[in-house]
Each structure stands twice: as C-alpha cells, then as structure tokens.
Amino acid sequence: MSLDFVSATELDALDPTRVLGGACLGVAAPAVGASWPQQAVSMPLLDGTRSVWHEAWVSDAPVVSGESEGIRWSRSADGVLFGALALPEVGEGPADSTAALRHISELAYARIFRLLDAQGLPHLWRVWNYIPDINGAQAGLERYRQFNLGRGDAFERCARSVTEQVPAACALGVGGGPLSIAFMAGATPVVPIENPRQVSAYRYPDVYGPRSPTFSRAALAHLPGQALFFVSGTASIVGHETLHLGDVVAQTMESLNNVEAVLFEANRIARDGGFSLSDLVYRVYVRDAADAPAVTAAMRERLGAVEMLCVQADVCRSDLLVEVEAHGLRPR
C-alpha cells in the first residue's frame, strides 16, 4: 500500500481498481469528485501554493467497492477497508432534537460498525472526524462534547471497547457543512499506542465533559510485508492540561514533543524496525490563519523537509491553537 499526493489531473490518472480511498481538502473540496470513497472537506489551505490537496491510499491488491447506509467504501484483497460518509444534522434525527450532533454521531458510528461486521473486517484502525462549529454550544454542552457522547454511545451499543483497544483518531472543527467521517479498518486489530507524557484520552477527568473521547494516541497496523503507523491529532497537552496558553510556537513544539513520545513507544514494540520523525507525513491544523507562517517555520526547524500540509481548522479545545497528526508506512 502507498499514500499518494496528487494533483487533480494525476487523480484522474490513478487506477480506480487499486485506490482504496482518500481525502480532498481545500475551499473547493466538496466540488471535486472521485470514483472511490473520498472525504471532501472545505477548509482553507495555508501553504500559499495550492488551493486543493488530494490524498489517495493506493492498494497493491485489487479493490472491490460498494455503498452501505450512505457510506462509500472500498476494500482490498489483503483485508483493508476505507470508508467515508457525511451526515447533515437536519433530516437525520428527531425534528425537535436539541442535541442533533450527539444523535448523528451515534448514528454514523453505528453504521460504520455494521458495515465492518458485514465485511468481516471488524477492527477500526484510524478515523478522521470533521465537525461543524466544534467549539460552539448545543443543548448546554460544547458540541465536541456532544460528539464524544454520541461516538461513545455507539462504541458501547455495538459491543466495542471504549478504553484500551480503540482506534487512532482526530476531531477538528470546520465552518459548516455535515459531520464528515473517514476511516480505515482491517481484519486484525491495531496495536494502540499511548503517550507516557499524557493521560490517555479515554481516561480524561469529567472536567472535559460527561464522556471521555474514544481514541488512542497512536496505532500500529500490520499488513503482510508492511507496517502502518497512525498518529492521532496531537496538541500541546501534558497530563490532561493545555500548556503554553496563547503561544502558538510553543504549542507547536510541545505537540511535536508528544508526537516524538508516541513514536518512541511505537518503536519499542514494532516488529521489524521502527519509524523516525522524518519518515512521517504531517497534517497540521492551525486555528488562526495568521499563525501559519510561524507554525510552518517551527515544524521545518524541528523536522526538516518532510511532506506537510497546513490547513485552517478549529481544535477541540478553544485554548489549543494548533494540532498535528501524522502517518507513515514502511516495509517490514
């Protein structure tokens, strides 16, 4: 498997029988289509050189595709599935619902789990969640906390663990549109990785909401001859508290300290070799577009010439100014 970054022209040239799925990010993203599952999210790109970013997970084996309850999905012959769905908050739940995001979050994850069970690939590896107005309030609760309630409800009702054996994930805020979720899953469980510098997200105290987030800090997945490493959305949090309030550069460096910590933990248990920071591909979310040059400079100073995309998005806590996620592939 490979992760390819392509232009719109190159996207059309990819062999659709080999593409599992991908992402299209940018202000024009929703208008760009593909013949495979694609998470299209409207968010400004901040590197100044392009308006749309395309990613494609390309399988070494042929794929088969389908649609189930609004989820477009493809699976490879070697047992990896990519899916994407988008659910609006209007029309999916009770008309008088005051907590629509909670309802559709539970609905979306329940659909995902039904699909994975039906395909015989029950193990969720990585999830990308994009939530409109993530820091806004709904029914007296921050919308991110409503999302956590719905996601956790679905995990429990579909007999999935909400601690320990949970996928890598991120949850970022966008200006509008539906709840957008993309995911990868497989026949074998991932190896969850936690960060010794942080309290596991699923064990956060209730000051952060009535239900803790359901994700691991990172995850290792093993394919025949290949290892995949997913780093969840990572921010300037030590223990469970935000550090460096108001200082975007310090928050960026602390986020990278946390990425390095989970990388070290993953390399301790990797079957055949490990990853380095320079092996990874990075997606960087910046709350204030004006901070992008400082964040990019800090990333380059620490990491060098890695593949990196910087986009504008809201982070799950209003005092967090930046979030970093990463992933890597290497032969075993």
**What is the CATH number for 105?**
3.30.1330.40
Active site residues: 323
Q: What pLDDT score was predicted for residue 31?
A: 46
Q: State which residues form the domain around 60.
A: 2-331
pTM above threshold 0.85: yes
Which residues in the chain land under pLDDT 70?
28-33, 91-98, 271-272, 332
> How many structural domains does the chain have?
1
Q: What pLDDT does 30 receive?
A: 52
Looking at residue 41, its pLDDT comes to 94
Evaluate whether 292 touches 310 at the Cβ level (below 8 Å): yes
Predicted confidence at residue 331, as pLDDT, reads 85
Helix axes 100-119 and 143-157, enclosed angle (nearest 10): 30
Dihedral sign from CA coordinates of 165, 207, 285, 183: positive
The reported pLDDT for the residue numbered 224 is: 85
Q: Report how far residue 180's alpha carbon sits from residue 85's, in angstroms, rounded to the nearest whole number.
A: 6
> Mind listing the pLDDT tens digit for each residue in 155-203?
999 999 999 999 999 999 999 999 999 999 999 999 999 999 999 999 9
Cross-strand partners of 40: 24
